[in-house]
């Protein structure tokens, strides 16, 4: 017997609101429907593990299929299914009230940001793309199968169905021209790969491509399974080899070179957090590739925009973080003040610095070999976060033009005896262009001074940071002045020129520069200095 009814909601005709409000994010319907299918399957697996099922559960693969002739997209699971009473409860009442609550929460979002990272709309997200939705479901309990139908109005019909197997089929009838893309195999394949690549239940979308030669040879097409149900981050570090970590990295970034190293995150208190963060090779030109850390919630892809969840400097890393404790249904401003997000942010930062310190202590030569690739990240972190600076100062390396590496403390000790000026200020000399400033670095070396290589874009800022953190220490670029002025000593030099000769020489240079705004000074120089030096305030050079 067919039953007809009206869905009781306060919002008048909520379906147009769903379509209008979520128009830009309508692709999330597939993620929501598959998430529901996974939940139903995992509930069945849980009951089987407890011995509450009398029969074998068999294959539980979720299937997604397209019928272009009928204009339908179907998501089928072999989970617990629903009885007629459960359909009334979970579809007509609970699911709909959840959809209404979800929309009410987001209707006044001011910044108009994409809400693709928000869960909660569930089953009714299907109406973002479908003109009509059918449900065919049969419970694992002894009961009749049920068919439910709604065409986007508040009215529904429900009747017995002849479905024989346990589980639920959600059939979306898609007729609107704007949504016909969701009847294209390539589009659905891309969405399944994007959102469902690591879900814990196998998801099948048709069969794998079979060449004509294979067909002629009588080979049968293998099922096209979308996902890896046990990604590396869900396992214990002890279960994984270095090769396993690299293989997973290639799964995330197929065309990227191997990572330098990685950090496996696994926390269950005071918040839940798992994941793997990889250190890629970073160029000194500071070519930052954002959106390389993917956020998941219980293995469902949420977003690759993690600005509010991890410190900005961690965006230089690659990898995956998975946490059900990150509130996804709230605004960005709320995320910034959420206690769990702050704890996760702080924890990840500490784990990164701890890993770097461990690598430094365990194998310093290997760490020094990688320093060129990770120095930008470390310096950026130290500039951005005082706590990260404190944790990183023990392994942050300074490199000189002879390609020797020193910690900050080691370098201070190295130059203390020879590069302390008459005011007891420690002077660290550096070059931003080893070849272009060769004459100046040679003069420094001839005076017995050491010269650091600071040629990354970030180094101008990093030098300022070090000067603010280190007591009685200044960094001076080798071409900022003469050596005698860069590291002023008590030694007094006398000019070999008479006053008349000096005046003539000064006039000669003034006429040569043609009245430009420069100051010409004649001073006695060290025998190792160049006869003429053009100087500019070191601070101005860093601008």
Q: How many CB atoms lie within 10 A of CB 517?
A: 5
**Position 291 confidence tier, pLDDT thresholds 50, 70, 90:** low
**CATH number given to 396-542:** 3.40.50.11260
Q: What is the pLDDT of residues 83-101, one digit of tens each?
A: 999 998 888 775 665 555 5
Evaluate if residue 320 carries a pLDDT over 90.
Answer: yes
Asked if the peptide bond before residue 270 counts as cis, ω within 30 degrees of 0, the response is: yes
Chain-centre distance for alpha carbon 405 = 30
pLDDT: which is higher, 99 or 449: 449
3-state secondary structure of 263: strand
What CATH class does 3-225 carry?
Answer: alpha beta
> Based on C-alpha coordinates, what's the Rg of the chain?
33
The chain-wide mean pLDDT, for the chain, equals 84
> To which residue do tokens 């900050």 refer?
408
Query: Which segment of 215-229, 383-397, 406-420 scores lowest on mean pLDDT?
Result: 215-229
pLDDT: which is higher, 12 or 263: 263
**Position 7 confidence tier, pLDDT thresholds 50, 70, 90:** low
**Position 155 confidence tier, pLDDT thresholds 50, 70, 90:** confident
Domain boundaries, the chain: 3-225, 232-362, 396-542
Backbone phi, psi, residue 406, to 5°: -140, 145
Q: What is the pLDDT of residue 542?
A: 57
User: Beta partners for 495?
Assistant: none
Q: Are 80 and 44 in contact (CB under 8 A)?
A: yes
Q: How far apart are CA 384 and CA 119, in angstroms?
A: 32
The CATH architecture that domain 232-362 belongs to is: 2-Layer Sandwich (3.30)
Q: What is the pLDDT of residue 361?
A: 96
Q: Are 476 and 538 in contact (CB under 8 A)?
A: yes
Q: How far apart are CA 470 and CA 428, in angstroms?
A: 11
Q: What is the pLDDT of residues 322-377, one digit of tens each?
A: 988 776 554 555 556 667 778 888 899 999 999 999 999 999 999 999 999 899 88
């Amino acid at each position: 017997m067919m039953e007809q009814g009206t869905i009781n909601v306060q919002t008048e005709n909520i379906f147009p609101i769903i379509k209008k409000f979520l128009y830009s994010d309508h692709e999330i319907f597939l993620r929501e429907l598959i998430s529901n299918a996974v939940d139903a399957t995992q509930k069945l697996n849980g009951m089987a593990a407890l011995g509450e099922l009398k029969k074998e559960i068999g294959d539980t693969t979720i299937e997604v299929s397209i019928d272009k002739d009928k204009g339908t997209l179907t998501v089928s699971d072999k989970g617990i299914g629903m009885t007629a009473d459960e359909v009334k409860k979970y579809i007509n009442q609970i699911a709909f009230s959840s959809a209404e609550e979800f929309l009410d929460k987001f209707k006044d979002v001011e910044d108009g940001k994409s809400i693709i990272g928000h869960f909660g709309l569930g089953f009714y997200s299907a109406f973002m793309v479908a003109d009509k939705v059918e449900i065919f479901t049969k419970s694992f309990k002894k009961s009749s199968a049920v068919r439910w139908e709604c065409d986007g109005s508040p009215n529904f019909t429900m009747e017995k169905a002849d479905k024989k197997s346990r589980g639920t089929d959600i059939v979306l009838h898609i007729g609107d021209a704007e949504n016909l893309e969701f009847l294209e195999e390539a589009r659905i394949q891309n969405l399944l790969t994007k959102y469902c690549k690591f879900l814990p239940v196998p998801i099948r979308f048709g069969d794998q491509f079979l060449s004509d030669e294979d067909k002629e040879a009588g080979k049968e097409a293998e099922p096209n399974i979308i996902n890896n149900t046990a990604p590396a981050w869900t396992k214990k570090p002890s279960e994984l080899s270095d090769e396993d970590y690299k293989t997973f990295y290639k799964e995330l970034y197929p065309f990227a070179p191997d990572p330098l190293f990685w950090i496996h995150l696994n926390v269950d208190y005071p918040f839940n957090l798992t994941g793997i963060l990889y250190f890629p090779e970073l160029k000194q030109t500071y070519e930052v590739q954002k959106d390389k850390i993917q956020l998941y919630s219980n293995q469902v892809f949420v977003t690759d925009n993690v600005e509010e969840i991890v410190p900005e400097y961690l965006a230089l890393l690659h990898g995956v973080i998975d946490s059900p404790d990150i509130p996804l249904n709230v605004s960005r401003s709320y995320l910034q003040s959420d206690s769990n997000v702050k704890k996760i942010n702080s924890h990840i930062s500490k784990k990164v610095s701890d890993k770097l310190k461990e690598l430094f202590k365990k194998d310093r030569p290997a760490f020094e070999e990688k320093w060129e690739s990770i120095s930008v990240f470390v310096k950026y972190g130290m500039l951005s976060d005082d706590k990260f600076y404190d944790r990183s100062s023990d392994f942050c390396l300074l490199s000189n033009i002879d390609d020797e590496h020193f910690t900050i403390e080691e370098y201070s000790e190295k130059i203390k005896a020879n590069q302390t000026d008459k005011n007891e200020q420690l002077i660290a000399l550096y070059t931003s262009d080893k070849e272009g400033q060769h004459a100046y670095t040679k003069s420094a070396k001839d005076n017995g001074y050491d010269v650091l290589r600071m040629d990354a874009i970030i180094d101008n800022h990093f030098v300022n940071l070090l000067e603010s953190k280190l007591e009685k220490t200044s960094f001076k670029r080798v071409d900022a002045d003469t050596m005698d002025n860069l590291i002023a000593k008590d030694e007094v030099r006398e000019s070999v020129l008479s006053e008349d000769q000096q005046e003539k020489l000064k006039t000669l240079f003034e006429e040569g520069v043609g009245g430009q705004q420069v100051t010409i000074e004649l001073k006695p120089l060290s025998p190792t200095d160049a006869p003429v030096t053009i100087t500019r305030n070191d601070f101005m050079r860093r601008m």
